[in-house]
């Protein structure tokens, strides 16, 4: 175990490496449109992240988990598992409150579930946090037309 000068052990490089490897495999599976396989890899990576020891930084775990969850949401959206996508985005927006991508993907999940008013609200938040995101603007305009 390595220490970082604060008396607290440094985060495990082995765990970080394993999480990174699984995330990279998930990203490759996503690019190749093997969405269910990608979901599995992101879930495995999340399992490793959640097994970090309690002295690891909560910020590190939150950052890691929010990215992995958001990637898994992208897969869920592709396979039309909108409820699963929605629940993952609920965690994402709690972990990273000012990240437009989390609100954007939550909006897309809500559209898939037919919850257009809530989708517009989520997409408006996405736009606040990422005002230059063209994909967000397009989704917001589309969702408003569905009201």
| Residues of the chain above pLDDT 70, percent | 95
Quick one: 69 and 93 in the same domain?
A: no
Please give the pLDDT value at position 5: 62
| Gap between the Cα atoms of 4 and 56, Å rounded | 11
Kindly state whether residues 97 and 65 are assigned to the same domain: no
- How many folded domains does the chain comprise? 2
Compute φ and ψ for 10, nearest 5 degrees: -70, 155
Q: Which of 55, 50, 48, 65 is nearest to 2 (CA)?
A: 55
Instruction: Share the mean pLDDT of the chain.
Output: 94
Pull the structure tokens for residue 42.
Answer: 């992101």
Question: Looking at the domain assignment, is residue 111 inside a domain?
Answer: yes
- Confidence at residue 1, expressed as pLDDT on a 0 to 100 scale: 55
Give me the numbers of helices (H) and strands (E) for the chain, helices first please. Answer: 7, 0
Q: Is the same domain home to 94 and 73?
A: no
Extract the residue ranges of the chain whose pLDDT is less than 50. none
- How far apart (Å, rounded) are the C-alpha atoms in residues 139 and 101? 12
Same domain, 50 and 96: no
- How far is the C-alpha of 102 from the C-alpha of 121, rounded, in Å? 13
What pTM does this model have? 0.92
The tokens for 65 are 């988990």
């Amino acid at each position: 175990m390595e220490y970082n000068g604060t008396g607290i052990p440094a985060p495990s490089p082995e765990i970080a490496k394993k999480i990174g490897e699984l995330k990279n495999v998930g990203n490759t599976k996503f690019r190749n449109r093997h969405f269910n396989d990608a979901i599995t890899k992101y879930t495995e990576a999340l399992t490793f992240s959640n097994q970090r020891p309690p002295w690891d930084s909560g910020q590190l775990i939150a950052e890691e988990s929010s990215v992995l969850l958001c990637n898994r949401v992208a897969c869920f959206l592709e396979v039309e598992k909108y409820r699963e996508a929605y629940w993952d985005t609920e965690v994402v927006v709690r972990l990273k409150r000012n990240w437009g991508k989390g609100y954007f993907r939550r909006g897309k999940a809500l559209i898939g579930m037919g919850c257009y008013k809530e989708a517009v609200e989520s997409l408006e938040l996405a736009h606040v946090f990422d005002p230059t995101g063209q994909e967000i603007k397009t989704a917001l305009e589309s969702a408003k037309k569905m009201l």
